[in-house]
């Protein structure tokens, strides 16, 4: 986030997601974000003046007709009455809809799970409860149902200052201080990471969790996994705990992800650098590899208790993270597989689509300033008749990186050992080497440095692909290019890609900027929302997105707030077609301090699941809450504490009152 107030740098807030890349500008020049922040703070939004109130890619012909009808009635494909943008401590959804909390951090998933109690946390309890900081949300139907399925949710990271009562202390007139974590607290953090697979069912129009559903599962930072594909067994992934280079212990920082056409759950490992501490030995061969990824960053205290996170003691461990993880949800004892053919970087998501010839295409963002957009095309074809035949599709295929040309064309450059510069002269001895150092391979190929590529979503309805670029306040004027057209890009933009011939496997295509984000009323921002977009409808910092069954684009944001944009994060509906193109409307917004992840529409478009991540985060008292945002001394600092307060990360189900499709 760009404008968090953090009085103590020790707090691990979502500042981590600032992702200072190798191209970061070291100067102290005032950024566009700071200019805008000053403007919003003068307006006094903190006083609440405005605070009034993959399966999705399946196209339904009926839904398309309904969306077309809506467009005919005034241009937009969206018919809801938009929410008023603003800042407060509550959820707000458009009139006529309900936003019901379905799952919160600590909710029990199994018959023997303890109820959530922040004063009695343990790793054992957390392994049986819903994890922390929910990001990706996927829905896998059971028996083809849109009302009974598996919800798969990533738990990206942990905020100890929001999790552990008593960890933060305040001395009047001084910055808040966070104590070092105990081993027990580190163990809780490790158990709060990973993912949740949980059965859910809609009963009388409302979603319920099926506690102890037979496929319910928690995946954590200790779950045993397999490394598969070209890197499996390579010397660079062998450690003292795994002499074979094929067995990995756990997954971390699972940001967005995807559900494959064959119904598995894929988790993207993003900011892996924070988990590692220590120093490599002088002249170690991995030094340049780790520097390119910012390893070690040492934001977590895991290395104090577990040697594998200390790169001085276990120098190959970081090479076992930064992958896409695939989970077979049909068997709760299945071993998740890290699919190394899909490359190693700060993976944001992995949304996929079946191409015309049956091969499957995954779009992948590397979320760091000045990093790249990738896609992976499987070698084999999807077999809709035989699920088992698809289970190793992700071990064999071609990874490509995007080069956006000034003339509006895009080239997808293959990342293949032996081709172009990816040879022994540049230090690569095999495809395994190329994949372990995917970023360096892409550097050598001349890929386009982007403004933090987040979610990338193919749209089966119009054959296009939508790319969210969150922001890049470090881009200098001389670094501007056609695909990243703003210096000090504080608010991000969205690019639309059309692959040649509508073929998602194509190695060439066209692109254009759909939307430059930010306040259209401020000329210096250069936002390009349509003039039909209201003062509530514009947004900044696009992060995740979804395509509903009608083929419409929905965008969720990360990093807004009182100073940055005068509004909390939320879910915006964005027109992509016809005269209404680039019109945006606010559908849902979250409490202060939260980013909004997901979003995900059920196949019948009747539910939008969204993930409200780190509500109340910010490192100090949010005035809108009227209380501290972290667990301190509950009895004195927070006498009105209740477990359902919005400080718990949660998954929210949005449905239309009385039933029916969302917004059509």
For 201, phi then psi, to 5°, come to -145, 140
Indicate whether 156 belongs to the interface with Ca ion (CB under 5 A): no
Q: By C-beta, is 355 or 467 nearer to ligand FEO? A: 467
493/588 Cα distance (integer angstroms): 20
| Nearest Cα to Cα of residue 147 among 226, 220, 202, 75 | 202
Residue ranges in 482-541 that form contacts with ligand FEO under rule CB under 6 A: none
Indicate whether 371 belongs to the interface with Ca ion (CB under 5 A): no
559/547 Cα distance (integer angstroms): 22
Indicate whether 270 belongs to the interface with ligand FEO (CB under 6 A): yes
Q: By C-beta, is 371 or 558 nearer to Ca ion? A: 558
Q: By C-beta, is 134 or 228 nearer to Ca ion? A: 134
CB of 157: closest distance to Ca ion in angstroms?
Answer: 10
Tracing tokens 């450690």 back to the chain, one arrives at 239
629/646 Cα distance (integer angstroms): 10
| Nearest Cα to Cα of residue 645 among 659, 661, 664, 630 | 630
Select from Ca ion, ligand FEO, none the partner in contact with residue 571, using the beta carbon and a kind-dependent cut-off of 5 to 8 Å: none
Tracing tokens 């892996």 back to the chain, one arrives at 272
CB of 87: closest distance to ligand FEO in angstroms?
Answer: 22
Cβ pair 162, 142 in contact under 8 A: no
Indicate whether 577 belongs to the interface with ligand FEO (CB under 6 A): no
The answer, yes or no, to whether the previous bond of 614 is cis (omega within 30 of 0) is no
Indicate whether 18 belongs to the interface with Ca ion (CB under 5 A): no
Q: By C-beta, is 13 or 113 nearer to ligand FEO? A: 13
381/360 Cα distance (integer angstroms): 7
CB of 610: closest distance to Ca ion in angstroms?
Answer: 13
For 184, phi then psi, to 5°, come to -60, -40
CB of 509: closest distance to ligand FEO in angstroms?
Answer: 24
| Nearest Cα to Cα of residue 289 among 320, 326, 253 | 320
List beta partners, residue 572: 555, 586
CB atoms within 10 A of CB 386: 9
Element (H or E) spanning 432, and its range? helix 431-436
Q: By C-beta, is 92 or 474 nearer to ligand FEO? A: 474
Size of the site for Ca ion (CB under 5 A): 4
Of 291-299, 307-315, 502-510, 537-545, the segment contacting Ca ion by CB under 5 A is 537-545
Q: By C-beta, is 17 or 632 nearer to ligand FEO? A: 17
CB of 659: closest distance to ligand FEO in angstroms?
Answer: 33
CB of 250: closest distance to ligand FEO in angstroms?
Answer: 18
Residue ranges in 467-506 that form contacts with Ca ion under rule CB under 5 A: none
Among 89, 351, 433, 543, binds Ca ion (CB under 5 A): 543
Select from ligand FEO, Ca ion, none the partner in contact with residue 270, using the beta carbon and a kind-dependent cut-off of 5 to 8 Å: ligand FEO
Q: By C-beta, is 80 or 362 nearer to ligand FEO? A: 362
CB atoms within 10 A of CB 240: 11
CB of 349: closest distance to ligand FEO in angstroms?
Answer: 8
Among 3, 127, 156, 326, binds ligand FEO (CB under 6 A): 156
* Helices and strands (DSSP H and E) totals, the chain: 9, 33
CB of 325: closest distance to ligand FEO in angstroms?
Answer: 15
233/245 Cα distance (integer angstroms): 4
Tracing tokens 């979804």 back to the chain, one arrives at 546
CB of 559: closest distance to ligand FEO in angstroms?
Answer: 10
199/145 Cα distance (integer angstroms): 12
Select from Ca ion, ligand FEO, none the partner in contact with residue 329, using the beta carbon and a kind-dependent cut-off of 5 to 8 Å: none
Among 3, 314, 558, 617, binds Ca ion (CB under 5 A): 558
| Nearest Cα to Cα of residue 325 among 248, 218, 233, 386 | 248
The answer, yes or no, to whether the previous bond of 334 is cis (omega within 30 of 0) is no
Size of the site for ligand FEO (CB under 6 A): 8
Q: By C-beta, is 232 or 256 nearer to ligand FEO? A: 256
Of 95-103, 137-145, 556-564, 638-646, the segment contacting Ca ion by CB under 5 A is 556-564
Residue ranges in 247-266 that form contacts with ligand FEO under rule CB under 6 A: 255
Select from ligand FEO, Ca ion, none the partner in contact with residue 366, using the beta carbon and a kind-dependent cut-off of 5 to 8 Å: none
Let me know if 21 is exposed, middle or buried by CB neighbors in 10 A (0-12, 13-18, 19+): buried
Q: By C-beta, is 230 or 258 nearer to ligand FEO? A: 258
With helix as H, strand as E and coil as C, how does 233-256 read? CCHHHCECCECCCCEEECCCCEEE
| Nearest Cα to Cα of residue 20 among 5, 37, 3, 2 | 2
CB atoms within 10 A of CB 72: 10
Of 146-154, 158-166, 238-246, 555-563, the segment contacting Ca ion by CB under 5 A is 555-563
Task: Name the residue with the smallest CB distance to Ca ion.
Answer: 558
Of 107-115, 237-245, 541-549, 585-593, the segment contacting Ca ion by CB under 5 A is 541-549
373/659 Cα distance (integer angstroms): 38
> Phi/psi class of residue 429: alpha, beta or left (left: φ > 0; alpha: ψ in -120 to 50)?
alpha
Of 237-245, 481-489, 496-504, 557-565, the segment contacting Ca ion by CB under 5 A is 557-565
DSSP 180-207: PPPHHHHHHHHHHSEEEEEEEEEETTEE
Q: By C-beta, is 20 or 68 nearer to Ca ion? A: 20
Strand, coil or helix: 499: strand
CB of 607: closest distance to ligand FEO in angstroms?
Answer: 23
**Alpha-carbon torsion 128, 130, 132, 135, what sign?**
positive
Cβ pair 410, 509 in contact under 8 A: yes
With helix as H, strand as E and coil as C, how does 518-536 read? CCCCCHHHCCCCCCCCCCC
Which x/- pattern over 194-233 shows residues binding ligand FEO (rule: CB under 6 A)? ----------------------------------------
Question: How is residue 402 written in tokens?
Answer: 């995007």
CB of 267: closest distance to ligand FEO in angstroms?
Answer: 12
Strands 134-141 and 148-155: antiparallel
Among 1, 3, 6, 17, binds ligand FEO (CB under 6 A): 17
CB of 454: closest distance to ligand FEO in angstroms?
Answer: 5
Q: By C-beta, is 202 or 369 nearer to ligand FEO? A: 369
Indicate whether 348 belongs to the interface with ligand FEO (CB under 6 A): yes
Element (H or E) spanning 551, and its range? none
Residue ranges in 398-457 that form contacts with ligand FEO under rule CB under 6 A: 454
Which x/- pattern over 218-257 shows residues binding Ca ion (rule: CB under 5 A)? -------------------------------------x--
Indicate whether 367 belongs to the interface with ligand FEO (CB under 6 A): yes
Select from ligand FEO, Ca ion, none the partner in contact with residue 189, using the beta carbon and a kind-dependent cut-off of 5 to 8 Å: none
CB of 257: closest distance to Ca ion in angstroms?
Answer: 10
Footprint of ligand FEO on this chain (CB under 6 A)?
Answer: 17, 156, 255, 270, 348, 367, 454, 543
Footprint of Ca ion on this chain (CB under 5 A)?
Answer: 255, 454, 543, 558
């Amino acid at each position: 986030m760009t404008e968090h107030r953090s009085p103590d740098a020790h707090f691990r807030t979502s500042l981590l997601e600032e992702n200072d890349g190798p191209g970061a500008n070291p100067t102290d020049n005032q950024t566009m974000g700071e200019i805008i922040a000053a403007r919003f703070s003068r307006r006094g939004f903190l006083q609440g003046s405005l605070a009034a109130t993959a399966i999705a890619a399946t196209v339904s012909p009926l839904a398309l007709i309904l969306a077309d009808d809506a467009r005919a009635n005034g241009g937009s494909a969206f018919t809801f009455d938009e929410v008023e943008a603003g800042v407060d401590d509550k959820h707000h959804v458009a009139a006529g809809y309900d936003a019901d909390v379905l799952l919160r951090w600590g909710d029990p998933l199994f018959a023997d799970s303890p109820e959530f109690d922040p004063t009695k946390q343990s790793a054992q309890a957390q392994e049986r409860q819903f994890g922390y900081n929910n990001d990706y949300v996927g829905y896998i139907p059971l028996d083809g149902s849109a009302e009974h399925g598996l919800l798969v949710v990533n738990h990206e990271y942990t905020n100890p200052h929001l999790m552990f009562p008593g960890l933060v202390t305040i001395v009047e007139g001084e910055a808040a201080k966070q104590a070092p974590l105990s081993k027990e607290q580190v163990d809780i953090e490790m158990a709060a990471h990973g993912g949740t697979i949980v059965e859910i069912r809609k009963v009388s129009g409302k979603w319920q969790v099926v506690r102890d559903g037979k496929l319910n599962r928690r995946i954590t930072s200790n779950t045993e996994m397999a490394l598969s594909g070209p890197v499996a067994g390579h010397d660079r992934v062998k450690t003292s705990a795994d002499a074979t280079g094929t067995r990995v212990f756990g997954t971390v920082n699972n940001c967005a992800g995807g559900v494959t056409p064959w119904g598995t759950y894929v988790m993207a490992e993003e900011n892996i650098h924070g988990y590692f501490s220590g120093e490599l030995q002088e002249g170690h061969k991995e030094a340049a590899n780790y520097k390119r990824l910012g390893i070690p960053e040492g934001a977590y205290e895991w290395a104090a208790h577990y040697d594998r996170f200390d790169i001085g003691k276990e120098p190959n461990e970081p090479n076992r993270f930064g992958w896409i993880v695939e989970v077979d949800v049909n068997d709760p004892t299945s071993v998740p597989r890290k699919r190394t053919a899909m490359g190693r970087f700060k993976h944001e998501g992995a949304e996929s689509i079946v191409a015309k010839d049956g091969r499957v295409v995954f779009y992948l963002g590397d979320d760091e300033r000045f990093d790249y957009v990738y896609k992976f095309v499987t070698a084999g074809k999807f077999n809709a008749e035989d699920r088992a035949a698809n289970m190793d599709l992700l071990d064999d295929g071609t990874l490509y990186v995007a080069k956006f040309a000034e003339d509006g064309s895009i080239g997808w450059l293959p990342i293949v050992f032996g081709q172009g510069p990816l040879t022994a002269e540049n230090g690569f001895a095999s495809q395994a080497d190329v994949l372990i150092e995917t970023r360096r391979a892409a550097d050598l190929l001349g890929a386009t440095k982007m403004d933090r590529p987040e979610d990338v979503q193919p749209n089966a309805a119009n054959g296009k692909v939508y790319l969210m670029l969150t922001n890049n306040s470090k881009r200098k004027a001389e670094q501007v290019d056609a695909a990243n057209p703003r210096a000090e890009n504080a608010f991000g933009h969205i690019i639309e890609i059309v692959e040649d011939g509508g073929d998602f496997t194509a190695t060439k295509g066209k692109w254009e900027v759909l939307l430059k984000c930010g306040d259209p009323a401020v000329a210096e921002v250069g936002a390009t929302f349509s003039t039909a977009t209201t003062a509530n409808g514009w947004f900044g910092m696009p992060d995740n997105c979804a395509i509903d069954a009608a083929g419409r684009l929905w965008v969720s944001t990360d990093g807004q707030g009182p100073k940055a944009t005068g509004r909390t994060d939320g879910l915006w509906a964005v027109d992509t077609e016809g005269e209404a193109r680039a019109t945006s409307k606010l559908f849902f917004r979250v409490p202060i301090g939260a980013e909004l992840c997901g979003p995900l529409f059920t196949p019948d478009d009747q539910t939008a699941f969204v993930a409200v991540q780190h509500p109340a985060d910010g490192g100090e008292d949010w005035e809108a809450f009227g209380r501290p945002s972290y667990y301190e001394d509950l009895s004195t600092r927070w006498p009105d504490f209740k477990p359902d307060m919005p400080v718990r990360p949660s998954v929210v189900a949005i449905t239309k009152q009385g039933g029916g499709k969302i917004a059509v």
